Every structure is written in C-alpha cells, then in structure tokens.
Amino acid sequence: MPEVCLGAPQKDHVRASGGLGVKSPSTVDNGALLCARHHELKTREGRTWRPRILEWIDRQARLRGG
C-alpha cells in the first residue's frame, strides 16, 4: 500500500460483511494486520484495496500449502 506506515498495528477484517452491520468472521483467510493509516485507507477505498489484500492473503496461503 502507498505511503509510510503510521500508527499501531490493527487487525482488519478484509472480507465485507455484506452490509449486514456486523463484522465478517475473524478467520485466518479474512484477516490482515495493517497500520492505522493503511486500515483507514482500506476502509475508505475498499473497492480498490480489498481485492488486492485478499489476493495477497490467498497467495500467502498457497505458499504455505493451504
């Protein structure tokens, strides 16, 4: 993600909750640790960043044999 990391690490639920007003599941394939700046950026620009973060999570799972 662009810019330098800023702020404490925060767990981000990457997959959308489908507009149900609840958080999506806290599972390995749905979590990313983002700094506060990047968490806010992903929240604000989810259509751009969510697919990229999910691609990264999936790539990491394949590398681990998952």
Task: Name the token pair of 20.
Answer: 């149900």
pLDDT digits (tens, 9 = 90+) for 29-63: 788 899 999 999 998 998 899 999 989 888 988 89
Per the document, the length of the chain is 66
d(CA 29, CA 21): 20
* Total-model pTM: 0.74
